[in-house]
Every structure is written in C-alpha cells, then in structure tokens.
A and B are shown apart, each in its own frame.
Chain A
Amino acid sequence: MMRGPVRTLLLVCSIALTSACVTSTVDEMVFNEPLEGIGDSSVVILGRRHASDYETEPDFIECVGDHIASHDQSIRVINELEFVNALYPWFEPRTAPLRPEDIERLLRQKPVAQKMAELKTEYMIWVDGATVRGDSAGSMTCAIGPGGGGCFGFGTWSDDANYEAAIWDFTDRIEVGRVNTSATGQSYMPAVVIPIPIIAPVQGAACDGLGNQLLEFLSSEY
C-alpha cells in the first residue's frame, strides 16, 4: 500500500519532471558556406572573455566542440585550451583579435604564422554569451543534529542562455557567418528529507542548438 505523503511526493515529482523542459530558439545568418565541408582543415572554437560581468563558460565551448566532432568525425575541432596555450600570449582576453582583419597583423609574426599553418586552422569560431539564473522562488529549510538531518521545502528558478557565434574564415580573413541561440527553462527542487533537483538542461539545449547550426555550416553531411 502506498502511504499519503509518498503518493504526494511522487505526484509532485512527476509534475515537476514533465515541467522541467527547455524552450530554445536559433537564428542563423550565413554569408559564404563551404559547399564541400572543410576537408582536412581544422576548426577552433573560442570563447569571448572581454565582458566584465560575465564570461563565456569554457565547458560550453567544450560542449559545442564535442557536439560537432561527435556528429561529423571528419571535422577536426581543436581544443580551446590547447589552441590558446599553443599561441600564448596572442589569444588571451587582453590580446585576442576582435575583428577578422586583426588576423593579418597577428600573422606578421613568423612563429604565429608557422603555428597556424601547422594547425591547419580554416575556421575560427568566436562564441560570446553566458547562461544566467533568472527569477527564483520558494524556500527550503535544512537541519542537522546528532540523530541525523534533512530538508523540507520547495524551490524553483529559471535559467536563460544566450550565445552568439561569429564564424571567421581564416584564409580570407573575413566573417562568413553568425549564429545566435537562446534557451530558457524552469528548474525545480522539492525536498522531503532529501532534496530532489529537477534541473532544466538550458545550457545543454543551447549547446545542441548552436552545435547543430555550426554543423550545417561546416559539414558536408548536414
């Protein structure tokens, strides 16, 4: 037999599970798409880190890179940290090129030009944005004592993700596309002794949205 509180908890959980979903929107603007993919060249995805109040999360950049590489294994995506370290100090927030024309000046330095040629970088994708927590509501009380501990209450919050990717053609030193993705979702955390987080995968949805759009641009199979 199922007791009343357990049944209520299951009901709350099932309602919350069905509600913790994400709405995602993608806008794309492409000027010059490669018709046969990028061949044996590589692509690097970098996060913009100039703003003072937010930072494009490194794990989001990694997620987009993994998404592209896992869906089309012919595309070589250079790891962000590996690239930034290999070209230190030219891609730090202070020194990173802000416009495609800045690449020209960067390549005037022989070691940088040699490293770029070695990496066969055809496209450089700059991702700017962040996932931020919006409104939150509810309250939760937790207590701990010699006999044990537990929490009781209910909390809910929303997350908003907004990212824009600018695609630079490294050979022609021009911007060839721009993709924007935004996602929003509501997360819940009911707690009856143990808190049960029901998290809306907002950043994951934004990653998939952006990754799919970039795949359409870079891959000959999409």
Chain B
Amino acid sequence: MSRSMISAPERGNLRHVFGIAVVLFTLGGCGPEQVVVKGKFPPPLMEPLPLNIGLWYGDDFAHHEFFDEAKSRTDSSWVVKTGEAQVQMWDTLLAGMFDNVVQMKGKPGPGQMNQAVDAVLIPHVDELQYAIPTHTNIKVYEIWMRYRFELVTSSGDPIAQWTMSAYGKTPTAFLQSDQAAVNLAAVMALRDAGANFATTFTRVPALQSWLQQRWRPAEEVIP
C-alpha cells in the first residue's frame, strides 16, 4: 500500500506544507486584480491620406493605467494597464492611415527642435471605465474609453482638439478568468478606437478647415 510508505512525521510535514499553501493562496487573493493589456492589432485596409503626420505620446498616455479601488469587502480592486497596447495599436493604425508618420523627438512647443511635418497628433485617454459580470449581472465584460486628441503644429500651436469614445466587450466563457476577459474587452475597445478614428477622421468638424487647406478630399472614406 502506498499509504504505508509515508511515515507519521512526513505526513505532519505534508500537512504543514498544505496548510501554508492554503494560507498563501488565500492571502494571494487580497491584492488588486492586475491586467496588463496585450493584443495584436492589424494595419488598416485603406488608401493612406496624403498627410505627413507627427506623433507625440505623453507619459500619461504611453504608460496609461487605470486603478479602481474595491468599494466593498466582496469586491476586488483592479489595475488595468493599457499604455503599451495603446502605443502598439496607434502606431500600427496611423502608419496605415497616413502617407508618412513620424515620431517626434520632443513634445511640440516653442523652441523645441522637431522634424518638419504637416501637424502633430497628441492622443490622451481622458477616462476609462470597466464593468464585469459581478457588477452588472450581465454576462459580458466591458471597457469604455474616452480619448481626447490634440492636433498641433510642430511648434505647439493648436490646430484642433476633439474627443472620441471607444467601447469593447467580450462574453463570459468557460474556464476564462476575469483578467483574461478584461484583457480581451480592452483589446476590443482599442480596435474600436482605431475603427472609429480611421472612419471619422476626415469628418471631424474641428478639422474641416485645416483639411480643406491641405487638400480637398475627393470622396468620403466611410462606406
């Protein structure tokens, strides 16, 4: 019998190890739920707009993270880090949307030496909200983001500013953790942000006069 192979002191040790594992497992559940958003983002399938665009990501954008503190003992705190995925998605999208995209050496401003471009785009994430099934009783995980875009000259003079929302959701799935589902919802929200930006850029009211100065759009890009 295999049971007789383990002596009494060894069994005591095993119980200690098991007990410690249970305590560690329980304590492990006390920290915030953390999601570092990771995903793959395809390039857009469209005719590039004839613009030479500079790109500047502020620290708040490139390292964007969202923290939500637990409101009750039964809730968990959440940290959702989207910065890396934001940069990855916007780099891919904008490179396919415009003829030329240049990463700026420094934040556009008076006296800042930068590359010559038509305009510099500075994206910001103003707000991020999330919902998980335990909050809503609906079996979907949701992420909602509000972006603010600044379009400025190389020397930092404002051209236009506008906001845009993005939404992503994913259904519950068997054996899928909350973290994996929130990650997937965030990836969907980022894809939605890209789709919204790409299909509405030429129709943003604040950009109309600037776009007309640059070129006259031959046709709307929206299907």
- A-side residues, CB < 8 A to B, are 49, 53-55, 57, 59, 85-90, 92-95, 97, 102, 105-106, 108-112, 115, 130, 132-133, 144, 146-147
How far is B185's CA from A93's CA once the two chains are assembled, in angstroms? 13
Known contacts A130-B171, A144-B22; A94 and B195 CB within 8 A of each other: yes
How far is B128's CA from A128's CA once the two chains are assembled, in angstroms? 28
- B19 sits at the interface (CB 8 A): yes
Known contacts A53-B140, A111-B47, A130-B171; A89 and B223 CB within 8 A of each other: no
Q: Contact partner of A59 among B46, B173, B194, CB < 8 A?
A: B173
Nearest CB to that of B196 among chain A residues?
A: A94
20 contacts between A and B (CB under 8 A): A49-B169, A54-B140, A57-B171, A88-B44, A88-B45, A88-B191, A89-B191, A89-B194, A90-B45, A92-B195, A93-B192, A95-B223, A97-B223, A105-B223, A106-B223, A108-B219, A108-B223, A111-B45, A112-B45, A146-B15
Which of A87, A88, A90, A132 is packed against the most chain B CB atoms within 10 Å?
A88
Please determine whether B199 and A95 come into contact, CB atoms closer than 8 angstroms.
yes
A-side interface mostly: loop
How far is B218's CA from A108's CA once the two chains are assembled, in angstroms? 13
> Which residues from chain A contact B198 at a C-beta distance below 8 Å?
89
Q: CB-CB contacts of B154-194 with A at 8 A, as 1s and 0s?
A: 00000000000000011101000000000000000001101
> Which residues from chain B contact A49 at a C-beta distance below 8 Å?
169
Nearest CB to that of A103 among chain B residues?
A: B223
Q: Contact partner of A86 among B15, B45, B192, CB < 8 A?
A: B45
Q: CB-CB contacts of B77-96 with A at 8 A, as 1s and 0s?
A: 00000000000000000000
